[in-house]
Amino acid sequence: MSEAKKLGEPMKLDVLAIGAHPDDADFGCGGTLAKLAALGYAVGILDMTRGEMGTRGTPEQRAQEASAAAKILTLTVRDNLELPDSHIHLDEESRTKMVRKIRLYRPTILFTHFWEDPHSDHVHTCQIVREAAHLAGLGKYDIETAHARHRPNTIAHFMFPRTVVPTFMVDITEFAESKRAAILCYKSQLYDPNSSEPQTYLSDAGFVRRLESKQLYFGSTIGVDHAEGFFVREALNVHDPVALLSTQMSMYS
């Protein structure tokens, strides 16, 4: 079997969201992914690990949960890089694996974690994605095995510290229910009064409410109910400032 066959047939995604653990991308930008899919874009999620170090749930449960959430978000594809949970590091193997996925899915835009985060897997995922996004465009990098070179146009980051001001907000009000349904697929991770597994930050009864409170806050800054915020490090090249800015309702904070 040729390497191209082993790696899969290349496809074209508009957006690929990359999270360290199954559920990160759903929590961080699930509403935006559902909205983009409804707008007709091809959208996917790549999870870096199977979440096997999670205090609750098994990798098998988490794979089923991630698959169920993908259906609700109407993703074109959901894939897993199968790196070791809690041991994601910026190294040659991880970068090469990521380069191959970028060349396989050929996304125009990447969404991923921010470079400051309490979880080292999130930090290192961000680093791997940023480096691999560049390397994937170099024709001589991993030339023996990979599909044709491809470099995404830009990277937008989700799940950042409170001191970071988002570059843009996405109104996800119409998709807040879908996002909530996708989040609730992750039963093993969330509040369950019948579970005897250890408690975690996510399994607290107030976790989903707090996640939605953040959406409501982001929404309040643009005059809508629910929004997700993104941070882009590079300067934005705006083709049509009128089209962009005319979506503003008024002078919100």
- Binding residues for Zn ion, rule: CB under 5 A, are 20-21, 24
Shortest distance (Å) from residue 130 CB to Zn ion: 17
Tracing tokens 């979440």 back to the chain, one arrives at 51
Q: Specify whether the CB–CB gap between 95 and 141 falls below 8 A.
A: no
Smaller CB distance to Zn ion: residue 118 or 193?
Answer: 118
Shortest distance (Å) from residue 224 CB to Zn ion: 27
Smaller CB distance to Zn ion: residue 102 or 126?
Answer: 126
Q: In terms of Cα–Cα distance, which of 194, 211, 215, 193 is closest to 202?
A: 211
Shortest distance (Å) from residue 131 CB to Zn ion: 19
- Separation of CA 97 from chain center: 17
Shortest distance (Å) from residue 53 CB to Zn ion: 10
Q: Is 68 exposed, middle or buried (0-12, 13-18, 19+ CB in 10 A)?
A: middle
Shortest distance (Å) from residue 2 CB to Zn ion: 34
Return the exposure string of 170-200: e unless at least 16 CB atoms fall within 10 Å of the residue's CB, then b.
bbbeebbebbbbbbebbebbbeeeeeeeeee
Shortest distance (Å) from residue 122 CB to Zn ion: 6
**Nearest residue to Zn ion on Cβ basis:** 21
Residue 14 structure tokens: 């508009």
Smaller CB distance to Zn ion: residue 21 or 147?
Answer: 21
Instruction: List, in sequence order, every beta strand (DSSP E) within 108-250.
Output: 109-112, 154-157, 168-171, 227-230
Smaller CB distance to Zn ion: residue 20 or 172?
Answer: 20
Smaller CB distance to Zn ion: residue 47 or 171?
Answer: 47
DSSP letter, residue 189: T
Q: Specify whether the CB–CB gap between 176 and 226 falls below 8 A.
A: yes
Shortest distance (Å) from residue 182 CB to Zn ion: 15
Smaller CB distance to Zn ion: residue 51 or 152?
Answer: 51
Smaller CB distance to Zn ion: residue 45 or 222?
Answer: 45
d(CA 92, CA 88) in angstroms, rounded, equals: 12
Residue 53 structure tokens: 């170090």
